[in-house]
């Protein structure tokens, strides 16, 4: 039997949720004498305990093989909501292609490195918690920014908190070499990933596509040979 791996940075959230549900179950069993009310309440709370544990699962995914480091895979599970040319002012300071993936409550919320490369930039930004699919959430919401670089270029991405997400975990440490498909962090609850690629990149997704972290190819970086 293969056990489901749970994100270690989410143990505290899961434990707190379990404690709250356990207390509510105890109170409902003690003070509510009507079984037609008590049993449904207990079932809902037990279901939530299972769901919150499953929510923070770390999937076992196999990254697609590649002959070189041009391959860019999805940082997160979700739906592609933006594919457009933009100016990225924070670090790249140039025009590039922005690809945004929105995660709902049922998507895996662990995030994974999109390329093989060296971490050349990281910054955490405190902020607001407006809806993650809102265009301004990229700048106004709490988010972390990271950039990886290899021989084919730079890939910059943001982990953006949503209305209910109040904590972002990011493993970025400038100078570290990272492997595509390894976990790079987690965003708790509804949230979004903004990925910024060179204009010359060969984009493999479009708005409306459903993507899976690690497995879905987002783009190919430009061949500099």
Residue 65: φ, ψ to 5°: -75, 150
How far, in Å, CA of 38 to CA of 71, rounded? 53
* Chain-centre distance for alpha carbon 54: 15
| Residues noted as catalytic | 191
At 126 the pLDDT is 84
The contacts of residue 65 (CB under 8 Å, 6+ apart) are none
At 117 the pLDDT is 96
Q: Is 66 exposed, middle or buried (0-12, 13-18, 19+ CB in 10 A)?
A: middle
How far, in Å, CA of 120 to CA of 54, rounded? 33
How far, in Å, CA of 179 to CA of 214, rounded? 11
Q: Helix or strand or coil: residue 48? A: helix
pLDDT tens digits for the chain (225 residues)? 456 788 787 788 889 889 999 999 999 888 888 888 889 999 999 999 888 888 888 888 888 888 889 999 999 999 999 999 999 999 999 999 999 999 887 888 889 999 999 999 999 988 665 554 555 555 567 889 999 999 999 999 999 886 555 578 899 999 999 999 999 998 876 688 999 999 999 999 999 999 999 999 999 999 876
Please report, for the chain, the start and end positions of each structural domain, with discontinuous segments joined by +.
8-55, 71-220
pTM: 0.84
């Amino acid at each position: 039997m293969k056990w489901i791996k749970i994100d270690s940075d989410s143990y505290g959230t899961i434990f707190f949720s379990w404690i709250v549900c356990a207390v509510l179950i105890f109170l409902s069993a003690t003070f509510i004498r009507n079984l037609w009310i008590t049993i449904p309440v207990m079932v809902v709370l037990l279901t939530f305990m299972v769901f919150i544990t499953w929510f923070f699962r770390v999937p076992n995914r196999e990254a697609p093989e590649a002959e070189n480091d041009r391959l860019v895979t999805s940082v997160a599970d979700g739906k592609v909501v933006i594919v457009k040319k933009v100016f990225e002012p924070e670090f790249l300071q140039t025009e590039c292609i922005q690809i945004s993936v929105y995660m709902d409550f049922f998507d895996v919320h662990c995030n994974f490195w999109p390329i093989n490369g060296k971490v050349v930039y990281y910054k955490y930004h405190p902020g607001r918690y407006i809806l993650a699919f809102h265009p301004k959430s990229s700048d106004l919401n709490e988010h972390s920014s990271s950039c990886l670089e290899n021989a084919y270029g730079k890939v910059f991405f943001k982990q953006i908190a949503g209305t209910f997400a109040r904590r972002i975990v990011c493993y970025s440490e400038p100078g570290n070499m990272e492997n595509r498909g390894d976990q790079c962090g987690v965003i708790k609850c509804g949230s979004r990933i903004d990925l910024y690629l060179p204009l010359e990149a060969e984009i493999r997704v479009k708005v409306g596509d459903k993507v899976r972290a690690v497995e879905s190819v987002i783009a190919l970086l430009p061949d500099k040979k």
